[in-house]
Amino acid sequence: MGNGHRKKPFSGKQKKKQLQAKREKNLSKKEEDSDEEIEADKHVVRKHTDERKYAENGGSLLKKEQFNNKDDNITLPSTRKLLGPSKRLHSVFDKLSPREIRARRKASMKAFTRLPSTALEVSVNDIYTTVIDFPKRPSWHYGMTKEELESNEEHYFRQWLDDVYNKYPREELSFFEHNLDVWRQLWRVLEISDIILIVVDIRHPLLHFPPSLYNYVVKDMKRKMVLVFNKVDLVAEHTVYAWTKYFEEQFPEISIVEFSCYPRDNRFVDDTSTAFLQKRTKRPKKRRYQALGIKELLLACKNTNLVKQDVEVNWTELIEQYNRNATVCDNLDDITEEEEEKIDASQEESSSDVESLDAEENIKQIENQLKVANINNIETSPHKELITIGLVGHPNVGKSSLINSIFGKVVVSTSKTPGHTKHFQTIHLSKNIRLCDSPGLVFPSLLLKQLQILLGMYPIAQVQEPYSSIQYMAERIPLESILKLKTLEDNEWSAWNICEAFAIKQKYYIKTSRPDVYRAANAILRLVNDGRILLSFKPPEFFTSLKYLIAQKNEIDFQIKVESEKMEINTKKTDKTEIFEELNNQSKQQLGGYFELLINYNDGKN
- What is the rounded average pLDDT for all residues in the chain? 75
Report pLDDT for 25.
80
Three-state SS for 21?
Answer: helix
> How many other CB atoms are there within 10 angstroms of residue 339's CB atom?
11
Kindly report, residue by residue over 517-558, the tens digit of the pLDDT.
999 999 999 999 888 888 999 999 999 888 888 888 888 778
Report pLDDT for 21.
86
45 pLDDT above the threshold of 90: no
Q: What is the rounded average pLDDT of the residues 383-400? A: 86
> How many other CB atoms are there within 10 angstroms of residue 463's CB atom?
18
CA distance 476 to 478: 7
Q: What is the rounded average pLDDT of the residues 492-503? A: 93
pLDDT band at 81 (very low <50, low <70, confident <90, very high): very low
Report pLDDT for 423.
60
Q: What is the rounded average pLDDT of the residues 126-132? A: 90
DSSP string, 279-307: T--PPP-------BSHHHHHHHHHHT---
How far is residue 136 from each of residues 187, 392, 435, measured CA to CA in Å?
7, 15, 22
Task: Report percent pLDDT > 90 for the chain.
Answer: 31
163 pLDDT above the threshold of 90: yes
271 pLDDT above the threshold of 70: yes
Q: What is the rounded average pLDDT of the residues 10-17? A: 80
User: What letter would DSSP give residue 8?
Assistant: P
Kindly report, residue by residue over 92-107, the tens digit of the pLDDT.
777 888 888 899 999 9
Q: Which of 126-135, 556-565, 589-598 has the highest mean pLDDT?
A: 126-135
228 pLDDT above the threshold of 60: yes
Least confident of 354-368, 395-409, 581-595: 354-368
Domains of the chain with bracketed CATH: 178-267+285-305+323-331+400-441 (3.40.50.300), 547-605 (no CATH)
| CA angle (521, 531, 335) in 5-degree steps | 135
Q: What is the rounded average pLDDT of the residues 238-265? A: 90
Kindly report, residue by residue over 286-319, the tens digit of the pLDDT.
445 577 888 899 999 999 888 887 788 888 888 8
CA distance 540 to 122: 6
223: Cβ contacts below 8 Å, ≥ 6 apart: 190, 193, 194, 195, 196, 217
| CA angle (515, 518, 521) in 5-degree steps | 105
CA distance 260 to 291: 5
Residue type, 310: D
Q: What is the rounded average pLDDT of the residues 418-425? A: 59
Report pLDDT for 202.
93
pLDDT band at 1 (very low <50, low <70, confident <90, very high): very low
Least confident of 189-203, 233-247, 401-415: 401-415
365 pLDDT above the threshold of 80: no
Q: What is the rounded average pLDDT of the residues 231-239? A: 89
Q: How, if at all, do strands 433-437 and 425-428 pair? A: antiparallel
Report pLDDT for 390.
92
CA distance 259 to 268: 16
Report pLDDT for 307.
83
Q: What is the rounded average pLDDT of the residues 26-52? A: 49
Q: What is the rounded average pLDDT of the residues 49-55? A: 36
Report pLDDT for 211.
92
Beta strands in 221-351 (DSSP E): 224-230, 255-258
* Under 8 Å between Cβ of 394 and 380: no
90 pLDDT above the threshold of 50: yes
Put the strands of the sheet holding 433-437 in their side by side order. 255-258, 224-230, 195-201, 387-392, 433-437, 425-428
CA distance 123 to 225: 21
Distance of CA 31 to the CA centre of its chain: 37
